[in-house]
Amino acid sequence: MSVAKKDYKRITTKTLIEMKENGEKISMLTAYDYTMAKIVDSSGVDVILVGDSASNVMAGHETTLPITLDQMIYHASSVIRAVERALVVVDLPFGSYQSDPKEALRSAIRIMKESGGHAVKLEGGSEIKDSIKRILHAGIPVMGHLGLTPQSIYKFGTYTVRAKEDAEAEKLMEDAKMLERIGCFAIVLEKIPAALAEKVAKSVSIPVIGIGAGNGVDGQVLVLHDMIGMTHEFSPRFLRRYMNLYEDMTTAISQYVTDVKAVDFPNENEQY
Q: Tell me if 264 is assigned to a ligand binding site.
A: no
Q: Tell me if 121 is assigned to a ligand binding site.
A: yes
Peptide bond into 93 cis (omega under 30): no
| Torsion on CA atoms 14, 15, 21, 25, rounded to nearest 10 | -140
Q: Are 36 and 53 in contact (CB under 8 A)?
A: no
Q: Tell me if 91 is assigned to a ligand binding site.
A: yes
Q: Are 145 and 187 in contact (CB under 8 A)?
A: yes
**Distance between alpha carbon 249 and the CA centroid of its chain, in Å?**
24
For the chain, the 3-state helix, strand and coil shares in percent, each to the nearest 5, are 45, 15, 40
Tell me which of 84, 190, 198, 270 is the catalytic residue.
190
Instruction: Give me the helices (H) in the chain, please.
Output: 13-22, 34-42, 54-57, 69-80, 101-115, 129-137, 153-156, 166-182, 194-203, 224-227, 245-261
Q: Around Cβ 66, how many Cβ atoms within 10 Å?
A: 16
Q: Please say if 24 is a catalytic residue.
A: no
Q: Tell me if 53 is assigned to a ligand binding site.
A: yes
Which positions make up the binding site? 52-53, 91, 121, 123
Which positions make up the binding site for Mg(2+)? 52, 91, 123
Active-site amino acid positions: 190
Which positions make up the binding site for 3-methyl-2-oxobutanoate? 52-53, 91, 121
